[in-house]
Homo-oligomer: A and B are copies of this chain.
Amino acid sequence: MATSLTHVRIVGAGLIGTSIALALRATGVKVTLCDSDSRAQSLARDLMGEHNGEDGGIEDLCIVATPPNFIAEVIQAELSRNSQLRVMDISSIKTKPLHDVSSIGFDLSLFAPTHPMAGREVSGPQSARGDLFQGRPWILCLNEVDPELSRLVRDVVSRCGAIALDRTVGEHDQAVALVSHLPQMVASLLASQLLAGQGSEIELAGAGLRDTTRIAESDPALWAQILAGNSAALRPLLISLQNDLSHAIENLEDEVSMAQLISNGQRGRAVIPGKHGGQARNYTYLDIVIDDKPGQLAAIIETCAAAKVNIEDLAIEHTPGQQTGLITLAFSAEDSSIVAAHLKKEGWKVHPSR
């Protein structure tokens, strides 16, 4: 019985499984990576380079990185080759897989429910990266789990550079229903309303519609399992939304009611933490109008680097039919005035910070 990781087997060479494989491999752990889809397995093993994650030997830990519905089935197959199996689950929902695994009689103290809170709208091993989990929360539900397995799991999280957060299975499913599954469903429902629109209407779409529907690009097969699998936690939230929507429809002509609706949204928006996890930071923004051609952005960023300021965030906004662009840079208030002075001196069209 190993006290720290030496060999991990990962079943499922998708975005998450391959990213974990890359991260663990980079810290010297032997990784065996496999997938029932031979194309995904082959691509993922190629991505791992010379340590290409082939079969061989018995692992300390098996990470099941399949969509949630297949976890119990994978465990049954794995047991036939390793009767000492210790499993780490990384799926987006926790209650249902735990129930499935319990149903096949697997010892639950050897099954560790976890969830790395990192993902992308894109999927597959081609989207994997070893740093996907760097600094991201990784939820661990280990209170019923064997101490040795708990140690191995925490070692995985640490090697991936993630931040371990302990929760119960129920707390996890409640939280992701609110911050992940509800927004996914809302974005998808909103985007699907566009199918009834005319082209002459949709050509007026701006950044607001684009941002609000970005996550509607997510994978249907995976998300069907997530939404259906977490229906118990998700349903009350959807019903609350449904009630608020019905109330809004009834009171659509009432400006006091509409102002309250928008105001509630402002207050809700304000509780979302900013980047780096903590409280939302107050940045100062500089807007700079540029020509949409090579070298403009480079020159601006070069000026920032020369001024020894740290760019906290950056956005480029292009305008349709027009070959000008707008660069928005975020700084600390102090850095902002330093860099604004530099840029103005160089003749850039710097707009007042906000």
Asked if A215 meets B205 with Cβ closer than 8 Å, knowing A262-B224, A354-B127, the reply is no
A235 cross-chain contacts in B, Cβ below 8 A: 249, 252
Asked if A190 meets B186 with Cβ closer than 8 Å, knowing A245-B238, A294-B310, the reply is yes
Q: How many copies does the complex hold?
A: 2
Q: Would A252 and B264 count as touching, CB distance under 8 A?
A: no
Which of A51-59, A103-111, A140-148, A272-280 forms part of the interface with chain B?
Answer: A272-280
Q: Would B311 and A266 count as touching, CB distance under 8 A?
A: no
Which of A30-38, A130-138, A151-159 forms part of the interface with chain B?
Answer: A130-138
Task: Report if A6 contacts B (CB, 8 A).
Answer: no
Q: Would A163 and B272 count as touching, CB distance under 8 A?
A: no
A198 cross-chain contacts in B, Cβ below 8 A: 175
Please give me the residue from chain B that is nearest to A245 by CB atom: B242
A202 cross-chain contacts in B, Cβ below 8 A: 178-179, 271-273
Asked if A223 meets B316 with Cβ closer than 8 Å, knowing A241-B190, A245-B241, A352-B126, the reply is no
Q: Which of B47, B189, B210, B260 contacts A272 (CB 8 A)?
A: B210
Q: Would B216 and A268 count as touching, CB distance under 8 A?
A: yes
Task: Report if A184 contacts B (CB, 8 A).
Answer: yes
Task: Report if A284 contacts B (CB, 8 A).
Answer: no
A83 cross-chain contacts in B, Cβ below 8 A: none
Min CB distance A205 to B, Å, is 5
A131 cross-chain contacts in B, Cβ below 8 A: 289, 319, 324, 326
Min CB distance A322 to B, Å, is 3
A311 cross-chain contacts in B, Cβ below 8 A: 294, 297, 316
Interface size class of A (residues with CB under 8 A): 35 or more
Min CB distance A321 to B, Å, is 5
Please give me the residue from chain B that is nearest to A319 by CB atom: B135
Asked if A259 meets B221 with Cβ closer than 8 Å, knowing A186-B190, A202-B272, A209-B272, the reply is yes
Q: Which of B178, B215, B322 contacts A197 (CB 8 A)?
A: B178
Please give me the residue from chain B that is nearest to A196 by CB atom: B240
A320 cross-chain contacts in B, Cβ below 8 A: 135-137, 163, 273, 275-278
Please give me the residue from chain B that is nearest to A192 by CB atom: B264
Q: Would A188 and B314 count as touching, CB distance under 8 A?
A: no
A354 to B214, CA, bound (A): 17
Asked if A261 meets B192 with Cβ closer than 8 Å, knowing A239-B249, A289-B131, the reply is yes
A16 to B237, CA, bound (A): 37
A223 to B263, CA, bound (A): 10
A95 to B353, CA, bound (A): 36
Task: Report if A194 contacts B (CB, 8 A).
Answer: yes
Q: List 8 A-B pairs, minimum CB-CB distance, nearest first.
A: A135-B322, A277-B320, A188-B265, A135-B319, A191-B268, A216-B265, A192-B264, A224-B259
A-B contact pairs, 7 of them (CB 8 A): A183-B208, A211-B211, A273-B320, A277-B320, A297-B305, A301-B301, A314-B315
14 additional A-B residue pairs with CB within 8 Å, beyond A241-B245, A242-B242: A136-B320, A137-B320, A139-B204, A175-B198, A178-B193, A179-B204, A188-B262, A189-B241, A210-B272, A225-B255, A238-B248, A293-B310, A297-B311, A298-B305
